[in-house]
């Protein structure tokens, strides 16, 4: 257990529905990352927060995706009007900014299946 | 960040040392080598990282060649629980930017009883 938690662990939804995932990082970590992983591939970067500010979004993050980190602690990732192509594992990682030693610690992920 | 090349899969007998190679021939002087692993259906787990010196921790050892163009992750006494996909990642740390990790497809290590 890394100290990063994600909920729910599994989500099955029908195409067109909205879903929201939550990530609780390690409490003192100021950076939070979201990644997406499809079958057989490594995780791919989606977006990144430093404290409450969302500083970068990948081109993978379409307009249907939105992420927030309102108080610089937990974060949510919402997908609107889900599509079958959104089926993937959504991973959250947190870190403490420090140039030499920054290490990201990952949560267990939320596995999404869109029917 | 520099690109890495890893074998697609490897087997290792239980109790033996597992040596996982990684090529990163385009690495630059301020880029670190990180290793993560991912056990089936779990999130990636940090293992170790280094810049140019060899590193050891309770999980593994990291050997980086003198020219830094390749490295080897060593699991000294592999157990069945070490069966996982191992990712070698080269990363430039800036301390003021997005330190996102760029994963490849990794090496699928299978420990054989």
Q: Which three-class secondary structure state does DSSP give residue A57?
A: strand
| pLDDT tens digits, one per residue of B31-90 | 899 999 999 889 999 999 999 989 999 999 999 999 999 999 999 999 999 999 999 999
Checking if the pLDDT of B13 tops 80, the result is: yes
Q: Closest Cα partner for B97 from A94, A48, A44? A: A48
Q: How far apart are CA A48 and CA A75, in angstroms?
A: 10
Pairing state between β A10-13 and A110-114: parallel
* Contact criterion met (CB below 8 Å) for A29 and A94: yes
Is the Cβ pair A104, B99 closer than 8 Å?
yes
Q: pLDDT by residue (tens digit) across A37-66?
A: 999 899 999 999 999 999 889 988 889 999
- CA distance from start to end of chain A: 30
Instruction: Evaluate if residue B2 carries a pLDDT over 80.
Output: no
Q: How far apart are CA B33 and CA B4, in angstroms?
A: 10
For residues B85 and B38, the answer to whether their CB atoms sit within 8 Å is: yes
Q: Which among B43, B89, B101 is the top mutation candidate for probing chain A, defined by the most A β-carbons within 10 Å of its own β-carbon? A: B43
Containing B53, the helix (H) or strand (E) segment is: none
Coil, strand, or helix at residue B80? helix
More confident residue, A101 or B46: B46
What is the structure's pLDDT at B37?
A: 97
Q: Which positions ≥6 away from A45 have C-beta within 8 Å?
A: A33, A34, A35, A58, A60, B100, B101, B102
**Exposed, middle or buried by CB within 10 Å (0-12, 13-18, 19+), for B13?**
exposed
d(CA B70, CA A28): 34
Q: Are A39 and A94 in contact (CB under 8 A)?
A: no
- φ and ψ at A86, to 5 degrees? -80, -10
Question: Is there a contact between A106 and B98 if contact means CB atoms under 8 Å apart?
Answer: no
Q: What is the pLDDT of residue A102?
A: 79
Q: How much is the mean pLDDT over chain A?
A: 93
Q: Which of B96, B109, B88, B91 is nearest to B46 (CA)?
A: B88
The residue among B6, B30, B89, B101 with the most chain A CBs within 10 A of its CB, best to mutate, is B101
Angle in degrees, CA B40, B90, B95, rounded to 5: 110
Name every chain A residue with its beta carbon within 8 A of the beta carbon of B44. Answer: 43, 91, 93, 106
pLDDT above 90 (res A80): yes
């Amino acid at each position: 257990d890394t100290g990063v938690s994600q909920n729910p662990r599994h989500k099955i939804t029908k195409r067109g529905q909205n879903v929201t995932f939550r990530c609780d990082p390690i409490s003192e970590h100021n950076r939070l990352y979201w990644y997406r992983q499809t079958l057989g591939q490594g995780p791919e970067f989606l977006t990144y927060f430093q404290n409450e500010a969302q500083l970068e979004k990948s081109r993978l993050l379409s307009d249907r995706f939105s992420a927030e980190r309102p108080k610089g602690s937990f974060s949510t990732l919402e997908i609107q009007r889900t599509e079958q192509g959104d089926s993937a594992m959504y991973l959250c990682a947190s870190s403490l900014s420090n140039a030499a030693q920054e290490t990201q610690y990952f949560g267990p992920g939320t596995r999404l299946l869109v029917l | 960040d520099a690109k890495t090349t890893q074998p697609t899969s490897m087997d290792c007998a239980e109790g033996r040392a597992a040596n996982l190679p990684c090529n990163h021939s385009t690495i630059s002087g301020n880029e670190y080598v990180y290793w993560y692993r991912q056990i089936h259906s779990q999130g990636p787990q940090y293992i170790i990282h280094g810049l140019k010196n060899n590193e050891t921790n309770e999980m593994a050892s990291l050997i980086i060649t003198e020219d830094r163009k390749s490295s080897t992750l060593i699991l000294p006494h592999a157990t069945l629980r070490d069966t996982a996909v191992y990712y070698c990642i080269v990363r430039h740390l800036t301390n003021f930017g997005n330190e996102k990790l760029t994963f490849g497809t990794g090496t699928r290590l299978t420990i054989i009883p």
